[in-house]
Amino acid sequence: MSPSKNPRPEPSSSAPKQGSARSGAGAPRTAAAGAPVDSARPQIRPKAEGWQQPMDAEGRPKLQFAQPKVKQPPKHLADMTLDERTARAKELGISGFRAKQLSVHYFRHYTSDPEKMTDLPAETREQLVEEFLPPLLTEVRRLKTDDGATIKFLWRLFDGAMVESVLMRYRSRITLCISSQCGCGMNCPFCATGQNGLTRNMSSAEIVDQIVQANRAIAAGELDAPNAAEIADEADHAALGEETDFAESEESAAAGKGASSSSGVGPQRVSNIVFMGMGEPLANYKRVMNAVRRMVDPAPEGLGMSARGITISTVGLVPAIRKLAEENLPITFALSLHAPDDELRDELIPVNSRWKADEAIDAAYYYYKTTGRRVSIEYALIKDMNDHQWRAELLAEKLNARGRGWVHVNPIPLNPTPGSIWTSSEPEVMRAFVNRLESLGVPTTLRDTRGKEIDGACGQLAAAEE
Ligand code: SAH
């Protein structure tokens, strides 16, 4: 998969409304950092190419919130609390203690293999594993890049559905980008995942099993250390799920503790989770939250991870964002904004037809007010589409209007997807965009995503077998 070689820009017939109003009736302006004059650049409009974007009866991009009626995966101990597991064991006529032992095997030793469970009676092991640890994710393929510090896993689920997760080792943390749905119903034209619509929600245990399997691979020594170039890059770019303030905080040190090896060579299990794989996590709210509980609950209830290291990213499902704010969990929240103006966001993020950019930003601000956790705004920079200086200004104006110090903007260069006519912004345009936001008092960090060579970067996960 490679970026489209011949992007076909479609200059818009009229200048963007806010843009011309804001820049003095379209008068040419030069950005502070000497960026290209905005008015000399066209306004490309989003357009799906190479695939047909499904439309609803009113001719708008189709949105799928509910999952199709399909068979659900078998129940696994990671779907249940420890109390529920114990009760289930008793129902089966087994001692409740066995549920706890199985939980230790799964959450602490990352094993579902009855052979290794020597503390369990040999005659009942198989039955216990069958009941509580049915196979959920079968590895189909694994691709490595960055000298082995990044691994993309392709998993087959019980019904043949496929999902991907991406494991990345940095100097002081290991981040796993996980999927929450098979496919996605949000239909964003620049993202590969949405191109086949939503197959189904993943169960809580399927979500959690991505982490357990990643931990198993790490424990087996299969994830290499980042090379010098990666480490240098890491210093330059704040990484997902670990904002700069978090990295320095005491909580972060505490979060790292359980995950670090005593030899000081960095963590030996996944320390950070980003819900930035396939799917819209807030459209699968109940199962995702149940999975998050399993991630943070201490073993043997769950994995004992720090909630602060878990990032939930959303297209902007406003009621769900507000609900999330009230969960009383200090997880990190990220909003995929990608455009501050509704004119463009309506086309780029189809869910904007339900909740407008301002409502989504209000909800993000509510998240901050309720949790005290600084939120992230994600912004994929797309050449001549959303990278104009006036948009940086409008974004800063909208964020600053709500307050200071509550938000951090994370622009990233657009990653190529099949059929995309668009490309990433030019480096100097990206720099100018970042500088403009910074000069207006908005903390901004340009970051690059890992895994592009293996189609493992943001928006590239499509889970195809070939
Ligand atoms: N559905 C959620 C999470 C999955 S996508 C969401 O939309 O937030 C994770 C991030 O990758 C989102 O910010 C998404 O907009 C971004 N993304 C999607 N396609 C991309 C692409 N081609 N290049 C860069 N980022 C992309």
Kindly state whether residue 141 falls inside one of the protein's structural domains: yes
> Do 452 and 460 meet the contact criterion of CB atoms below 8 Å apart?
yes
Express each pLDDT in 114-149 by its tens digit.
999 999 999 889 999 999 999 999 999 999 998 899
What is the residue with the minimal CA distance to atom 25 of ligand 1? 458
What CATH number is given to the structural domain containing 96? Answer: 1.10.150
Do 116 and 224 lie in one domain? The reply is no
* Annotation says 458 is catalytic: yes
> Do 349 and 313 meet the contact criterion of CB atoms below 8 Å apart?
no
Express each pLDDT in 399-432 by its tens digit.
999 999 999 999 999 987 766 667 899 999 999 9
Number of domains in the chain: 2
Q: With residue 102 as reference, give the H or E element that holds it.
A: helix 96-107
Supply 367's token pair: 């998240």
Mean per-residue pLDDT over the chain, rounded: 85
Do 236 and 113 lie in one domain? The reply is no
Q: Predicted confidence band at 466 (pLDDT cuts at 50, 70, 90)?
A: low
Q: Who lines ligand 1 at CB under 6 A?
A: 186, 190-191, 276, 280, 313-315, 336, 378, 380, 412, 414-415, 417, 458-459
Q: Which domain holds residue 215?
A: 135-243+267-454
Q: With residue 22 as reference, give the H or E element that holds it.
A: helix 17-22
Do 148 and 213 lie in one domain? The reply is yes
Ligand 1 centroid to 30 CA: how many Å?
Answer: 30
pLDDT value at residue 461: 75
Do 298 and 334 lie in one domain? The reply is yes
Do 121 and 224 lie in one domain? The reply is no
pLDDT value at residue 232: 65
Residue 68 has a CB neighbour count (10 Å cut-off) of 12
Do 173 and 120 lie in one domain? The reply is no
Residue among 352, 343, 422 nearest 61 (CA): 352
- Candidates 131, 164, 234, 242; catalytic one: 164
Do 306 and 437 lie in one domain? The reply is yes
Do 125 and 237 lie in one domain? The reply is no
Atom of ligand 1 nearest to the CA of 278: 4
Q: DSSP character for 110? A: -
Ligand 1 pocket check: which of 63, 349, 378, 450 to mutate, most ligand atoms within 8 Å of Cβ?
A: 378
Domain boundary among 96, 116, 133: 133
What is the residue with the minimal CA distance to atom 5 of ligand 1? 276
What CATH number is given to the structural domain containing 163? Answer: 3.20.20.70
* Annotation says 177 is catalytic: no
Asked whether the bond before 411 is cis by omega within 30 degrees of 0, the reply is no
Express each pLDDT in 247-297 by its tens digit.
333 333 334 444 444 444 678 999 999 999 999 999 999 999 999 999 999
Q: Compute the average pLDDT of residues 37-52.
A: 79
pLDDT value at residue 448: 75
pLDDT value at residue 239: 45
Collapse the DSSP code of 434 into the 3-class scheme (helix H, G, I; strand E, B; otherwise coil) and give the result: helix
This prediction has a pTM of 0.87
Do 102 and 156 lie in one domain? The reply is no
From the DSSP assignment, how many helices (H) and strands (E) are in the chain?
14, 11
pLDDT above 90: percentage of residues in the chain: 68
Residue among 390, 242, 409 nearest 335 (CA): 409
- Candidates 131, 243, 393, 458; catalytic one: 458
pLDDT at 33 over 80: no
